[in-house]
Chain A
Amino acid sequence: GAVVSQHPSWVICKSGTSVKIECRSLDFQATTMFWYRQFPKQSLMLMATSNEGSKATYEQGVEKDKFLINHASLTLSTLTVTSAHPEDSSFYICSARTDTNYGYTFGSGTRLTVV
């Protein structure tokens, strides 16, 4: 079946540094990738939608200059958390549409801890 590989699975970084998270679709072309953030014991909140070759669309309240999204190819989308702060510590997860029947495949998630 459709697989989205997400790396790293966890990362610890210092305040002020940047972290890049990658999502790759392994056996299909992901025209659209969705990026979610999930705080402990909360739901998945959509941060942005990225389309291959175009600028990402950010949800209200999400800083586009802080969360840089690049979708340069049909199989790779990246999220870079710039100048990370402890409040950015969260579970970040990507998701891609797999077919026209509304199938969605999720990456395995990245646990980001900013110290």
Chain B
Amino acid sequence: KAGVTQTPRYLIKTRGQQVTLSCSPISGHRSVSWYQQTPGQGLQFLFEYFSETQRNKGNFPGRFSGRQFSNSRSEMNVSTLELGDSALYLCASSLELDEQYFGPGTRLTVT
């Protein structure tokens, strides 16, 4: 069974731009969560989608948004990028709302 895939793997953007990251969960998994990981803050929860509905949201500004499609694929969008948004963005999928499996991540660098 294929694992969680994320695209792109690496991305360089300029301050003020926006970015869209994509995540394809493990086949059959309906829950997709997004995390931001930085050396200083560790792994922080962004939001979780289950069957196309946002179930939970972390403490991030409204510039961070996401959505989930009917095939469970998910996208997250960050608008008006700031230097502090440079991070590893991880997507995790689960069959139910536990036992998450992480994708390889997207390394975003904002210059």
Chain A complexes with chain B:
no
A residues at B contact (CB < 8 Å): none
B residues at A contact (CB < 8 Å): none
